[in-house]
Chains A and B, each alone.
Chain A
Amino acid sequence: MSPLIESKALSKHFRLDARRTVHAVDEVSLAIAPREILGLVGESGSGKSTYGKTLLGLHDKTSGEVTYKDERLPAQYKAADFARWAPHMQMIFQDPYSSLNPRMTVGEIIAEGLKLTSQPGSAKRSESVARWLEEVGLDPDHASRYPHEFSGGQRQRVGIARALILEPEFVVCDEPISALDVSVQAQVVRLLGDLKERMGLTMLFIAHDLSMVRYVSDRMAVMYMGTIVELGAADDVYFEPNHPYTQGLVASNPEPDPRTERERETHPIRGEITSPVNIGAGCRFAGRCPMVMEQCRTVTPRLTTIEPEDGRAPRKVACHLFSADK
Chain B
Amino acid sequence: MSAAVESTDDPAILSVEDLHVEFDTYGGIVKAVRGASFNVRAGKTLAIVGESGCGKSVTVQSILGLIPMPPGRITRGRALLDGVDIVRQKIVGGEDIRGNRIGMIFQDPMSSLNPTMRVGDQIAETLIVHRGYSPSRAFQRAVELLERTHIPEPEQRARQYPFAFSGGMLQRAMIAMSIACEPDILIADEPTTALDVTIQAQILELIGELKRDRGMAVVLITHDLGVVARMADDVVVMYGGEIAEKGTVDEIFYQPSHPYTLGLRAAMPSNERGREQGLKAIEGAPPDLFSPPPGCSYFARCPHAMRLCEAHHPERFEISAHHYASCWLHHPDNPRPLGQETDG
Contact = CB atoms under 8 A, between A and B. Distances in A.
Interface of A: 43-44, 151-153, 181-187, 189-190, 208-212, 214-215, 235, 239, 248-249, 251-261, 266, 268-270, 272-273
A281 to B, nearest CB: 24
B225 interface: yes
Contacts of A260: 229
Interface string B188-225: 00000000111111101100000000000000000111
B229 A256 contact: yes
Contacts of B283: 187
B229 A255 contact: yes
Interface in B37-65: 51-52
B226 A212 contact: no
B269 A208 contact: no
Given A189-B279, A215-B275, A183 B199 contact: no
A266 B268 contact: no
Given A256-B226, A272-B166, A272-B168, A251 B279 contact: no
A48 to B, nearest CB: 12
A251 B250 contact: no
B245 to A, nearest CB: 15
A257 B271 contact: yes
A208 B205 CA distance: 20
Interface stretch (B77-85, B99-107, B259-267): B259-267
Contacts of A269: 198, 201-202
A266 B282 contact: no
Contact of A183 (B196, B227, B264, B273): B264
A254 B51 contact: no
A200 B274 CA distance: 20
A252 B274 contact: no
Contacts of A215: 269-270, 275, 279
A235 B273 contact: yes
A268 B264 contact: no
A244 to B, nearest CB: 12
B229 A211 contact: no
Nearest to A256: B225
B133 interface: no
A248 B201 CA distance: 10
Given A251-B201, A252-B201, A258-B253, 12 more contacts: A185-B267, A187-B281, A187-B282, A208-B196, A209-B197, A214-B269, A215-B275, A239-B273, A256-B268, A258-B250, A266-B201, A269-B198
Contacts of B227: 254
B32 interface: no
Contacts of B306: none
